[in-house]
Every structure is written in structure tokens, then in C-alpha cells.
Structure 1
């Protein structure tokens, strides 16, 4: 390896200003710590002694002595004529490695209580790359890549160097204006574009809104079951959560009517994950109730295009004239999740605080993405795409349900209430949803355990499955595989 590793060694304490007699020991300790803490990888070649000496400004004999001590202590090995290599972890003295790591950990500051709460309440494992049947994914194969690429190329041809600078946290004006117009047609929402804040999606919007509104000990209401990540943010903020049950008309208002929550988080268009659609009567009553309380409704309309296409009901936001509703939407469910563009309509009284938090964290969403999406909307490509995927999702849903009922009904009972991008399959009592989900995932099929959405995982035993992200051929192939896996799991 011919890298100059001076900066790595300095990170681990190397200093040529120490007395001469200590230089080789200092170099040894820096190299050892670089190896133990994983900065230098096992089996990686160390720089040749002459090169290392030149880079560090020390004698070659100093480097040789440090290398020899590394080899003698089991942190490196020499291959005649080829150089010195870092030893595999299994060859190192585990007690020495453990002691070094323990000593270094003791010197680190403690994490904040909030930081610890967030880390304990989120799954940071790398996402599985499998697509079938992950809930929340649109028909990815239908995204108009050529049109998007054309718009992207146009942007980079026209953009000037002066535009490659910082932008406002709220988002570009033209996109916010087009989103306001879009929502007027599809959700009966009239709003001032300046109230719209461009985010990376629903979760980002929730993080901003919850952090601006919720103090430790504040009462909040969420549906039970609900979006797990929303619940985890509220838990990390140490709010007092009341889990409201969901009946056939949506969130059960009577269960918290006499409470004084700071906010109510709800998914009225397509309750997540049950698929219950909040009735018009319940929307009106919830809106009337919030105006008698010092509360606010967080309306997460995460896939409203799908759940309101055939028989639209007005958003709660459109019923409210008292700045008591925050409305959330996203293009990640409609176009594709790697896009990372969503939006929130924020009441004026909290708008500055939301923008300040946005600026101090994410700063702003890529202007390239915003302007390309804006052009996508202005040329009516979004409406064309929306009409196309509505037809395809309906067809794929029919195929999915038909195959499922024929080959999996003996083990999984499919519920068809949801009008969005997912369906729920209830499991027989002798099948555990978390275990089955893990087993399917190991074999390339993603289906989330229903219990994860409840306050008490035992309240739900089933699978939450997307049905439209892949074409019909791959869908039936994966359903056939899923049926075989479920049978083998039971046996």
C-alpha cells in the first residue's frame, strides 16, 4: 500500500514533536490503535518502510522497530519480500484488543438522553434490496425514466453557476405554487403556497412537526395501530402517548374526547395499516372537537392519490378554517421512494419554527430535484403518470388477490379494506408474524409483521404486504415462491 497514512496516524496520537527516544513507541501505538479500532483493515499492506519514513520525516530504523513490535505483539505479519500486513482479527490477542477498546470508550462523553432514546427506537439495519412485496411501493417499473432524464438534462444545460448556491428551506416558489394547485384539484384544499414546506417525505415532515410541537410530558394521541416511525419519534421525545383504537369509521374520537392532547396524529384517507377510511361524519366531528381544544391535528395523507381516486372525500384540512391542521403529503409513494420529496402545509403560527428547524438540520431539498419535479408537473407528466398507474395498480391488485386466495388462503386470510398500496393478511394463531416475516425476508420476499404497528405487538398477527411494485410475471412468480415458503415454514 503506497498511501500516505500520516493523517490516520495523527488521528491515533502520532506526534513527531515527542522526545526522540519515544518516537518509535509513539508510532507503534498509533499504528496499533489504527488497527484495533478498524481504521486500517485486516490483511491490508502497510506502506514500505522507506516510504513511511519519508512521509513521516523519521528514520527508516524507527519505522522498522515499530513494525517489528507490531509483528511481535500479533497485530501484523511479515510476508518475505512482499512487505508487512495487518493481522486478521482472529490472530490478535483478544484481551489486549478488548482492554484497548474499553479504555478508549471510557474517554468518550455520554450521549444525551434524547440521542439514546432515538437510537433505541429505530432499526438501523441496512434495508433489504428485495422489492416484492414491500408495502408502500408504487409500480416502480412504470416510472417514466426517459421523461425524467430529459427534464434532468434540460436543467443541467440551462443552470448557471450563480444558481449553484444556497436556497431557502421552504422550497422553490414555483414548486410550492404547483403543489398548492395540485392539492386544490385532488384534495379540495385551498392554501397559500407560502405555507407549504418542501421536505424529504412524510417521516421528515413528522420529525419537524413533532419536534416543534412536543415537549417532554406532553399528551399526544395516535391511532392504534399506527405508522411505527411516527410512534418512535413521539416516544423518543418522551411524550405521553394515548393510543386511540380504530373502528369502522376511523380513529375513535370518543376514546379521547375528554383528554387535552397537544396533537392528534391520524391517517384518515387510508388508516395505516388497517386500510380503514375515515367517514365524512367522523372527519367533521374530529374537526369540530379540535376547535374546542388547545390541540392540533396532524393529517398524514401519505397515499391520498390511490385512496381517493374513485370516491374522494375531502381532507380534514379543507374542513378547518382555524389553523388547527397540519397536512402532510409525499411524492415518494406516487413516483418512487428514492426521489425523497414531500411537503407539509404548516399553520402560520408555527411556520417560522418549522423552517428554523429545517434550516438547522436538513437545510434545504436539492434545487435540482425540486426544479425537475416542478417541470414534471408543469408539463402535465404527473397527471399522465397518475392515470397510468391507477389502471395498472387496479389490475395488479386483482391478480394479487386472486392468486393469494387460491394458493395461500388456507394459511393467510386476506383483508381487502385498504384502497392504498398495501393489503393485510391475517395469520392463523399457530403462525407468528415476526418469525414468518423474517423467514420470508431471508428468501427475498418482504412482508412486514402486523404486530409491529401496534402498541402491544400481540394485538395484531399478520403480514402487511405491497402488491403493485413489480410486474405481473414477477408478482405471480414471487407469490408462488411465497406459498411454498409458507408451507415449508409450517412444516
Structure 2
């Protein structure tokens, strides 16, 4: 590939500046398409009859400005989202002919009815046991310690509360995430790679902003989290579903063509609960290195593994800078604390921070400061250890009750996390029918189709599957709830 570049040796501008300026113009005018590879520095140097170092310096200049990004052992590419686009904002509104204006203005908005159902259910105090997914135990929140930390952080906070913070997040909290949480989650990163976000959903949104446009191919594990699939679709993505087996996403079925991004939850696949073993993780990384795709690793419920040792994250195994790691404190502190964190490859970090600054002007300083102190003094470690023990006991109570009272039911996803999948016996009513009869007995249960789950195609037997969350329930509630659920099944039989 030869680029239409030339060198003017009579110009006062340096060779590096001339190359950078001409490349910048080609990229701005989309004469080099976003995502395209640019020639290797050696090849372009040979074309222009300049040294390879001169071309490398010009490329580095454009990398620092956000026009190019490099992939180790792969090459240099034009960024999908350009700095000019970020600054100038949305394109101008197209002009309508008078006859089409009224019709166009009344077209339905895209995705107006496709939110993440199943996450925002109100509490149901009338139920004996509500096996709703995604709810934390309010009794476990360290209220006294948190109140104390908030008061301490407020001392002398007037100046910090009167200025905007770093869009990347509070420096001290980012540092503590790398030093205190990094080893536990198998993260290998410096503080310069850590970006704070308002939970999982904003992290996924940020990645979509970086990579996804109209018809961008994005691989999704199937089934998957509905909030991710709908978000990618709202950016115009072409979703490529790849089935999940007992080891997670089936790498042998990944496409070999141009794929920008693959979304996976290897620690505890949502919703099936399977854990991706080491050999599958290595195969996925090899595929990404071969195809040039990025991997969004969502470490969903990685804190709660009960059976077996935790596995190294994809991010820690990555040698090519292709993994973006995402985690959030919502699974340990509760969804009310909207703080999550990403580990971003170095060549993407600058652009990621620019995108984050367009989403918000930084997270709330006070909560970041309190969380930093919560990590620093060891309170988080103690809190997480207690939660893990409590959740394991509740998991044991739920699995034991299901096996003793619902003979023939298949329970999966028990090795980690805070929910299980239950496939009802063939002689039991379907999940939607059972949901109604169980509620009449004071128990809330939820069919897979009524949970925040995305299906590319309806899975065989999904109409007989329940998703049962248990993190917020006492063991006595769990046992009583399963007993009444069994009564509902038997009454229908």
C-alpha cells in the first residue's frame, strides 16, 4: 500500500512534521479509512526515501494526538474515533424536503423500548423469598465504617468539592486498585492504564464509543448480558453471536474475518455461570492476536468463586495489548455505589480518557475518596471476605434445597457468582406458569426470558429455565422459598 505523500526538501518544516501533517490530512479527509492499517515504518521510509526513524517519529506524533494507535507485533492503525470527531461533536442535522419533514420527525426512536429489563425491579416485602437477580444484601453494607470515612474525607474537602476532577478518576484510588486489587484479580497494569467509570454499563458504553459504528462487526457470546448487546446495537453494530459451551465462548466458531471487538465474561459467564478454563483463554488470545481484534473482558462476579482456585485474567495473559478489562464495585459494595474500573491498553488510554470526558466530568469525588480509604486501611478485604463466606453459605443452602425438594431439576452455574440457573423437570410446568403460581405462595422466581439475558436465537429448553439470585436472602428464606416453590410444582403436577 502506497500513500500519496511527498517530501519537500526545500521546506523549512522538518521531514517528520511534513509526514505527520500530510498523514493527518489524509486521515481527517477519510482518504485513509478509520481502522485501516498504515504502512510499516520501514516501507514508508523506503517510499519517501527517508529514514525509518523519521517515519516512526511521525507515527508517534499522530499516536499522541489520537489519530493512530499501535498494536504490538501487529502494526499501526488509524483510530476508529478521531480527535476531530470528538471535539466537533455530532454531524450537522440533515436538511429535509418540506414534504418529508413531518413524516421523518414522527419516525420511532431507535431502541426506545429495549432497555435492560430485569435489573430495576422494586422490592417485594410481601414475599417470603424473592429470588430476584442482581440485588445485594443491605444488611451486609458496612454502614458505620462508610459513614466514618465520608465524614473524614469531608474534612478540608471544600477545595476538592469546588473543582472538576480528572476524567480518568481519582489518582489515589486508581493507584490502590492496581496495588491492592490487581494481584487478586490477576491484573497486570500501571496506574496510567486504570480508568474509573460509573459501573459496568458505562464501561461497556465507553468501549462501544471507541470501536463501534454502523455495521461494525462485534462478536457476542450467546447467550449474554442484554445490556451489552442492546448497547452495541444502538451504535449500529453488526452482532455476530458465538455459542457458549461448558467452557465459555466456543473459540473454534469465531470468525476469521475482520472483527473489531469480542465481548466475553470468562470468570462467570452470564447467564450460564460457566468458567472459561486456561486452555480456552489462551486460544481466545491467540485468535485475537491473529485477527487483530480487541477483547472486552468483563470480570463479572470474579470475586465470588467457591470451587477451585481463581484463574488468571485474560488481561494478565495478554502479550499483544488486545484486552480491555472491566470490573465494578457494584458486585461487592452494592449497585448504589456507581464506581467501576477498566484496565486499558496503553495505546488506547489517551483516547479512552477523551471519550470518558465526553460522558461525564469525572465521578463524584467524595465517594472516590471514601472508597480509596476503604481499600487503603484493609476494610475492603475484610468486607469482601465476609461477603464471600456468606454467599457461599447461601449458595450451599440453595443448591441443597433444590436437590432435595426438586428432584429432576438441573442446577448449573454453582461454582461462582450470586445466581444459579435451574432447568425444571420435564413433568413440571413451564417457567412462566410456575412464576405465577409460586408468587401466589409468596415466592418470587424469574424465567430466563424475564431476566436481563440476550438470546440471538431461543435456546432449546429456555422456556423451562429459571434464574434464581440469592445474594440478598438469608439461608432460612432460601430454604422456605424453595419449599414453597416445590409446592407450586407439585400442585401443578
Q: Could you report, residue by residue, the CA deviation over 1:325-379 in whole angstroms, capped at 9, with x for unpaired residues? A: 0000011001211111111112233333332332222332111111111110001
The residue aligned with 1:456 is 457
Q: Is the 8 A contact 1:138 1:333 kept in 2?
A: yes
Q: 1:483 aligned to 2:481? A: no
Give the one of 118, 121, 126 matched to 1:127.
121
Aligned residue runs from structure 1 range 124-273, under 5 A: 127-130=121-124, 132-273=130-271
Give the one of 415, 420, 423 matched to 2:417.
420
Aligned residue runs from structure 1 range 81-480, under 5 A: 110=105, 116-123=109-116, 127-130=121-124, 132-307=130-305, 310-409=308-407, 412-428=409-425, 431-437=429-435, 445-451=443-449, 452-459=453-460, 460-461=462-463, 462-480=465-483
Q: Which whole-Å CA distance do the structure 1 matches of 2:239 and 2:137 have between them? A: 35
Q: Which whole-Å CA distance do the structure 2 matches of 1:185 and 1:193 have between them? A: 14
Q: 1:336 to 1:123 in 2, by over 3 A?
A: closer
Q: Is the 8 A contact 1:303 1:330 kept in 2?
A: no
Give the CA RMSD over aligned residues. Answer: 2.7
Q: Which whole-Å CA distance do the structure 2 matches of 1:264 and 1:244 have between them? A: 10
Q: Which whole-Å CA distance do the structure 1 matches of 2:343 and 2:440 have between them? A: 40
Q: Which whole-Å CA distance do the structure 1 matches of 2:371 and 2:152 have between them? A: 12
The residue aligned with 2:73 is none
Q: Could you report, residue by residue, the CA deviation over 1:236-287 in whole angstroms, capped at 9, with x for unpaired residues? A: 2221111111122221111114232111100111111111111111111111
Q: Could you report, residue by residue, the CA deviation over 1:411-462 in whole angstroms, capped at 9, with x for unpaired residues? A: x432254411111101245633345446656876554432444222343231
SS of the aligned residue for 1:197 comes to strand
Q: Is the 8 A contact 1:121 1:236 kept in 2?
A: no
Q: Which whole-Å CA distance do the structure 1 matches of 2:216 and 2:438 have between them? A: 39
Show structure 1 runs of 5+ residues with no match.
Answer: 1-105
SS of the aligned residue for 2:332 comes to coil
Q: Which has the larger radius of gyration?
A: 1
Q: Which whole-Å CA distance do the structure 2 matches of 1:128 and 1:415 have between them? A: 26
TM-score, with length taken from structure 1: 0.71
Show structure 2 runs of 5+ residues with no match.
Answer: 1-100
Q: 1:205 to 1:437 in 2, by over 3 A?
A: farther
Task: Report deviation, 1:482.
Answer: 3.2
